[in-house]
Amino acid sequence: VKAQGLHSYRFFTASMNERTRALRRIETALRQALPRHELSLYYQPKVDAESGRIVGAEALLRWHANGRELYEPDQFIPVAEDTGLILPIGAWVLRQACKQAQLWQLRGRAIAVSVNVSPLQFQHADFYSWLDDVLNETGLDANLLELELTERMVMSGGDATTGLLQRIKRRGVRLSLDDFGTGYCSLSYLKHFPIDALKIDRVFVRDLISDRDTATITSSIIAMARSLNKLVIAEGVETREQGAFLRHAGCSQLQGFLYGAPMPAAEFQQQLLSTD
């Protein structure tokens, strides 16, 4: 027993060191990523549940070097958050996404762009002025920008957070709660926050068809959200059955591989402009 304990202890420390080294590698490379132009935004269509028309796009960060993906967002975004690198990166994402949506608007297809905001960015004292500056500089209609926040960010901050959310709303920017249902936000709490939309997390969508409890929970989240006058968006929609279920349950927008994977800006624009 003793030997085994010692062995697993050694194993544990070795894997911790390995993990720390891997994170360091990501951090070192990530410091260079912006100046080296290795970061880009992909766009994934959000479609109207009734008409199937593209009504928005979520901007999703990608990191490529020499024509191939270096790390996935789930690997490097936590590192960016831990090291504070998410601040310059997040500012770049916001500006880039707004410029892009402004271009679509100029080409006659005014659709909303959704940007993921990280907790560190949102907590920063200058967040509102960055946002305001970007809107003023790019000239994008504020109501064509949607910020995706998580439950935790909205719930944890008290009065200061509510005040910031209200300021953002007054500026005309839309707010949605990402990954809804995975955190600890109760629906009744939601009416206190100036949130326009909820995004039902992918885990619900994934099990909708195979699991009756998931289907019941999802339907009631959608019904209650609607009774609070919130729009509901479903993410991770991969099959026609899931799409049909969610449309009947009252989702107003759908997003997922069924309607289009995240794609480079040029490809997205081509698809957008070739449809009405």
Q: Which residues are within 8 A (CB) of 241 and not within 5 positions of it... i.e. 6 or more apart?
A: 208, 209
- Return the residues of window 34-93 that contact ligand C2E according to CB under 6 A: 44, 60-61, 72-74, 77, 90, 93
Number of residues counted as binding ligand C2E (CB under 6 A): 21
Q: In the range 91-130, which residues lie near ligand C2E by CB under 6 A?
A: 93, 116, 118
Nearer to Ca ion, 113 or 135 (CB): 113
Task: Decide: is 118 part of the binding site for Ca ion (CB under 5 A).
Answer: no
Q: How far apart are CA 17 and CA 200, in angstroms?
A: 37
Which of 63, 151, 262, 265 is the binder for ligand C2E (CB under 6 A)? 262
Q: Which is nearer to Ca ion, 116 or 242 (CB)?
A: 116
Which CA distances in Å does 119 have to 80, 124, 152, 154, 200? 11, 9, 8, 9, 19
CA distance linking residue 175 with residue 152, whole number of Å: 14
> Rounded distance, CA 247 to CA 254, Å?
8
DSSP line for 49-84: TTT--EEEEEEEEEEEETTEEEE-HHHHHHHHHHHS
Shortest spacing between CB 44 and Ca ion, in angstroms: 9
Binder among 146, 151, 179, 196 for Ca ion (CB under 5 A): 179
CB closer to ligand C2E out of 74 and 213? 74
Residues in binding contact with Ca ion, number by CB under 5 A: 4
The span of 13-21, 140-148, 247-255, 256-264 binding Ca ion (CB under 5 A) equals 140-148
Q: Contacting ligand C2E (CB under 6 A), which of 13, 166, 257, 270?
A: 257
Distance between CA 58 and CA 212 in Å, rounded?
Answer: 29
Q: How far is the CB of 14 from ligand C2E (least distance, A)?
A: 29
Which ranges in the chain belong to alpha helices (H)? Answer: 2-33, 73-83, 86-106, 119-123, 127-138, 151-156, 158-170, 187-190, 202-207, 212-227, 240-249, 265-273
CB of 7 to ligand C2E, least distance (A): 36
User: Is the CB of 91 or the CB of 113 nearer to Ca ion?
Assistant: 113
- Strands 174-180 vs 197-200: parallel, antiparallel or unpaired: parallel
118 binds, among Ca ion, ligand C2E, none (CB under 5 to 8 A by kind): ligand C2E
Least distance to ligand C2E, CB of residue 183, Å: 12
- Cα–Cα distance between 76 and 80 in angstroms, integer? 6
Residues 101 and 111 sit within 8 Å (Cβ to Cβ) = yes
Q: Least separation, in Å, of the C-beta of 237 and ligand C2E? A: 6
Which one of 45, 181, 243, 256 is in contact with ligand C2E (CB under 6 A)? Answer: 256
Binding site for ligand C2E (CB under 6 A): 44, 60-61, 72-74, 77, 90, 93, 116, 118, 178-179, 202, 235-238, 256-257, 262
